[in-house]
Amino acid sequence: MEESVILQRRLARETSARLEAEDLLEKKSRALFSLNQKLEKTLEETSAESAQLSVILNKTVFAILLTRADGSIVNANKTAEKFYQDDRENIIGQNTFDFLEMKTESESDSEELFTDSEPQNDVGALAHENPIEAIGTSKTGQAFPMEVTITKLDWGGGEHFMWLCRDLTRQKEEELQKRNLEQELRHAQKLEALGTLASGVAHEINTPIQFISDNISFMQEAFEDLQSLIEGMVGAIDTLDENIKAPLKQKVTSLLDEADFEFLEEEVPASIEQTGEGIKRVAKIVSAIKDYAHPGTEDKSAVNLNEAVKTTITVSKNQWKYVSNMELELFEDLPAFMGHVGDINQALLNLVVNAAHAIEENKGEDLGKITITTGMSETDVFVSVADTGCGIEQENIDRIFDPFFTTKEVGKGTGQGLSIIHNVVTTKHAGTVDVQSEIGQGSVFTLRFPKTAVANENAGEVA
C-alpha cells in the first residue's frame, strides 16, 4: 500500500515536472521564434542597407580602394575598374603603389614624385585629412592626374586604409582652358590698347604730314615761279640797249653761276618730287596703321582680303625687309566676305612675322622670299603665305597650334601666334588652316574662309 502511494506521488511529481518543462519549452520556443523573426528582419534590413551601400559605392565618382598598411588592395568598387581599366578581381591583390605615384604634401605643386629610394609601402605616413596629388596609370599605360585622400580604418582585426581617388583630368583641362582664355583676353586687351595708341599716334602724325605736304606743293609752285621770273629777267636784259645789256648780262650771269643756278634748276625739282614721294609713303604707312589698329566690333563686316594683305605688309615691313623680298600674287576679282577685319589682320600679321623669323633662322647669305597669294575655289576664299625659311619638324606639325607651344628661343616666342591664327580662322570664321612644310626649304600656311559668307559689295550683306 505504501509502495503504491509512493509510486503515485512520484508519478504526480514527474507529471508536474513534465508539464512545467513543456510549458517552459513552449515559452522558449515562442521566444526563439520571436527572436528568429527579429533576426530575419534585421538580416533583411542589413542586406538592403548593404545592397544600397554597395550601389552608392559603385555609383560614386570616386574610386574607392581598401588596402592594408603595405598598400596591398583587399577591396575596390566599380568606379576603380573604370579608373584603371581593369576588372575588380584583377585589382584586388595588387599594390596601389604599382599604379599610383604619390606626391608629398610639400611637393604638391611640383612635378617631383617619390623616388625608388624613398619608402613606398608606408600608407600610414600618407594618411591624413588633406588630399594628395597623384599620377594614376591605367592598365593600358595611360597616365592621368588624381587627387587621393587616405583614411585609417580599424577593421577586420588589423590596420586598414580607405583610399578615395578622384580623377582630375577634366578639372585640369578646364583649368588649362581657363588659363588659355585669360591669356587670350590679356593678349586681346593688350592689342586693343596698342591699337588705340597706334590709331591716336597715326592721327597725330597725319596733321603735320598734311601741312608738310602742302608746304612741299607750295615750294614746288614757288620754285617754278622763280624759274619763270629769272628766265623773264634774262630775256628782258636781251631787249636793252647794247651798252647797258653787256655789263648787266655779265653781272646776272656771274650771280647765276655763283649760285650754281643750273644745278639748282635741275636738282631742286627732283628733290621736291622725291620729298613729295616720301611724304606720300609716310601717309600710306600712317593710313595702314590706322586701318590695322582700328578697333574691331562684335559684328562682322565685309572683308577685302587683298586690302588686308596690303595693309599687313605695310605695317610689318620693318620685320621682313631686312631678311626677305616680298612677292604678292593677288587675285584681282576676289570677292569680299563677312568677317572680323581686326582678327584677320592680326592673323595675317602673325603669319608674315613668323615667315620673317623662319627665314632669319635659316641664316642664308641671300635674302629669302615671302610670297602671299590670294584666290578662290568653288567653296572658299583663301590666302596663303609661303616662305623660304627653316621649315617645321614633322613631329611638331600637329602641335604648332597648341597654346604656348613654341620652338623659338626663350624671349622670342610666346607660343600664342599660331594658336590665335587657328582660333580666328576655325572658331570665329568656320574656316580651315592648312600647313605644308619641309625642313630647310620653307613652309606654306593657307587660310581658307567659307564662300557661303561672301559679301554683296553693293548691299554690304551676306550673299
Q: What is the pLDDT of residue 413?
A: 44
Q: What is the pLDDT of residue 57?
A: 63
- Among 144, 171, 198, which residue terminates a domain? 171
**DSSP structure string for 334-349:** PPPEEE-HHHHHHHHH
Task: Name the strand (E) or helix (H) holding 385.
Answer: strand 380-387
312 and 244 assigned to the same domain:
no
Give residue-wise pLDDT tens across range 100-130: 776 544 444 433 333 333 444 567 667 666 7
pLDDT at 282 over 50: yes
149 and 70 assigned to the same domain:
yes
Average pLDDT over residues 443-450: 91
Inside any domain, residue 15 = no
226 and 323 assigned to the same domain:
no
Domain holding 382, by residue range, is: 299-453
Q: 3-state DSSP helix/strand/coil percent for the chain, to nearest 5?
A: 55, 20, 25
Give residue-wise pLDDT tens across range 304-348: 999 999 988 888 888 898 899 999 999 988 998 888 887 888 889
406 and 313 assigned to the same domain:
yes
* 314: phi then psi, degrees, rounded to nearest 5: -70, -50
Inside any domain, residue 99 = yes
pLDDT at 399 over 50: yes
- Among 107, 137, 171, which residue terminates a domain? 171
Inside any domain, residue 35 = no
Whole-angstrom distance, CA of residue 145 vs CA of residue 167:
6
Whole-angstrom distance, CA of residue 155 vs CA of residue 153:
6
SS3 (DSSP) at 393 = coil
Inside any domain, residue 268 = yes
184 and 160 assigned to the same domain:
no
Give residue-wise pLDDT tens across range 157-166: 677 888 888 8
246 and 390 assigned to the same domain:
no
Provide the sign of the torsion angle of the four alpha carbons 458, 459, 461, 462, taken in this order.
negative
Inside any domain, residue 135 = yes
Inside any domain, residue 4 = no
Q: What is the pLDDT of residue 194?
A: 59
- CATH at residue 126: 3.30.450.20
Contact residues for 84 (Cβ-Cβ < 8 A; gap 6+): 63, 91, 99, 136, 137, 138, 139
Work out how many domains the chain is built from and give that number: 3
141 and 285 assigned to the same domain:
no
Inside any domain, residue 27 = no
Residue 369: which pLDDT band, with cuts at 50, 70 and 90?
Answer: very high
- Among 171, 195, 210, which residue terminates a domain? 171
Q: Who wins on pLDDT, 188 or 19?
A: 19
Note the pTM of the prediction, 2 decimals. Answer: 0.44
